[in-house]
Amino acid sequence: MSPVNVLMDVDTGVDDALAIMFAVAHPEVNLLGISCVAGNAALPQVVLNTLKILDAAGAGDIPVAAGAVRPLIAPARDASHVHGADGLGGIVLPETNRRPVGQGAVGMLRDRLVASSGPVTIIALAPQTNLALLLRTHPEVAAKVERILSMGGSASVGNATPTAEFNVWHDPEAAAIVLDSGIPTFMYGLDVFNHVAVAREQTEALQASSRRAQKVAGALLAHRIGMGPGREPVYTGLIGDAGAVCALVDPDALRVERLPVFVELAGASRGQTVVDRRQFPGEDRMHGLHSAVGLTDVALEVDAQRYVDFYLATIAQLD
Ligand code: RIB
Ligand code: CA
C-alpha cells in the first residue's frame, strides 16, 4: 500500500511513545505532524516526552504542537499512577534540541490538513480535546480527513472506571463531538488494546540491545503499567496505543464490526462508549431514542501475536 498521510494526537505516555516509534519506523506511515494534549501527564510534560521520543526514534523534522491543557468540561486528571510522574515511567532520556512549533495544536492540525495534497488519517491516542476544538474551529477541514482512528473506548470492560476507558472518560464531550462529526471513525478500544503484549523475554532482549531505539523501546515495554490486586506493579508488556498504528497498516489482524456507538455523558457510567451490538432495535428506537447515533468501525478481536511480531519487526528497523 502507498504511504498513508497521518497526523497523530498524543498524551505521551509510555504507550504513546511506543506508538510514535512505530509510526516513525514504518515506511507506509507518512507522519505529517503530532499534536499534544494533557492526559497521561500535564501538557508541558507530554510535549517534552514527545520531542524526546522523536529523538530516540531518529525521526526527521516532524512538527510537534502543544494543545489543550485540560478537557472541555471536566478537570484534568492525569494517569501518573500508570505512566509515572514524568509520563514515561521514569526512563531517563537525553535533553532534546527539538522545540514545539509556535502555533498551537489546532492551528498546526488545520494547516497540515489544508496543505496536504491528499486525504489524511488522524490517529487519536489521547483524550480528544484537540480534535473537538479543531472540528469546532475549522469544520471545513473535515473534508480532508479520511478517517479518525482512535485508541479509545470499549465495547466491554473499562479501565478508568468499570465502564469507561481513560481517553474517553477524560473528555467525554470531546469524544462525542468527534463521533458526531460525520468523519468515518474507527475504534481501537480496550477489547483489543488489552491483549497485545510482548513476552518478558523479548522485552529483556530489547533492553539488552546496544542500539538506542531498541533500548528505549525495551525500557518502555518493561515499565509496569499494570497493577495487581494489591496495586503492586506487574509486568504486562502491552504495546497499548501502538496497536492502533498497527491497525492502520495491518487491519486484517482485527475482527471489526460497524456498529452504533455513542458516549454516555452523565451518571456513574459517564465516559462509557455505548456500543450497540443488539441484533434488533429495542424500545429505545421504537420511542425515538438513540436514533441519531452514528456508526463506527469497532475492533472486537485481534490476532495479538501477529501485532506483537509486526511491532517488533518494525521497530527493529530503528537504530
Ligand atoms: O486507556 C488507555 C489509553 O489511556 C492509552 O491511550 C493511554 O496512553 C492513556 O492515554
Ligand atoms: Ca495515550
DSSP reduced 3-state for 24: helix
Ligand with the closest atom to the CA of 151: 1
- Cβ(82) – ligand 1 distance below 6 Å: no
Q: How confident is the model at residue 292 (pLDDT cuts 50, 70, 90)?
A: confident
| Confidence at residue 77, expressed as pLDDT on a 0 to 100 scale | 84
pLDDT digits (tens, 9 = 90+) for 60-90: 999 999 999 999 999 888 777 777 788 898 8
The label of the residue with cell 523534522 reads 61
d(CA 58, CA 152): 28
Nearest CA to ligand 1 atom 10: 126
Indicate the domain borders of the chain: 4-315
Report CA-CA distances (Å) from 147 to 16, 122, 132, 235, 266. 19, 6, 14, 33, 27
Q: Is the pLDDT of residue 200 over 90?
A: yes
Nearest CA to ligand 1 atom 5: 241
Percent of the chain with pLDDT over 90: 87
Ligand with the closest atom to the CA of 40: 1
Q: How confident is the model at residue 229 (pLDDT cuts 50, 70, 90)?
A: confident
**Residue range 292-317: average pLDDT?**
96
- Cβ(11) – ligand 1 distance below 6 Å: yes
Q: Taking Cα atoms as reference points, which of 299, 251, 295 lies closest to residue 276?
A: 295
Taking all residues of the chain, what is their mean pLDDT, rounded to a whole number?
Answer: 95
Length of the chain: 319
d(CA 228, CA 25): 33
d(CA 272, CA 188): 14
CATH tag, 4-315: 3.90.245.10
Of 1 and 159, the structure prediction assigns the larger pLDDT to 159
- Secondary structure (DSSP) of 240-267: TTHHHHHHHH-GGGEEEEEEEEEE--SS
Q: Is the pLDDT of residue 309 over 90?
A: yes
Q: Is the pLDDT of residue 34 over 90?
A: yes
Tally: H helices and E strands in the chain: 13, 11
235 Cα to the center of ligand 2, angstroms: 18
Return the best residue to mutate from 9, 46, 125 for the ligand 1 pocket (most ligand atoms within 8 A of CB). 125
Sign of the CA dihedral with 136 first, then 138, 144, and 148 last: negative
d(CA 303, CA 76): 34
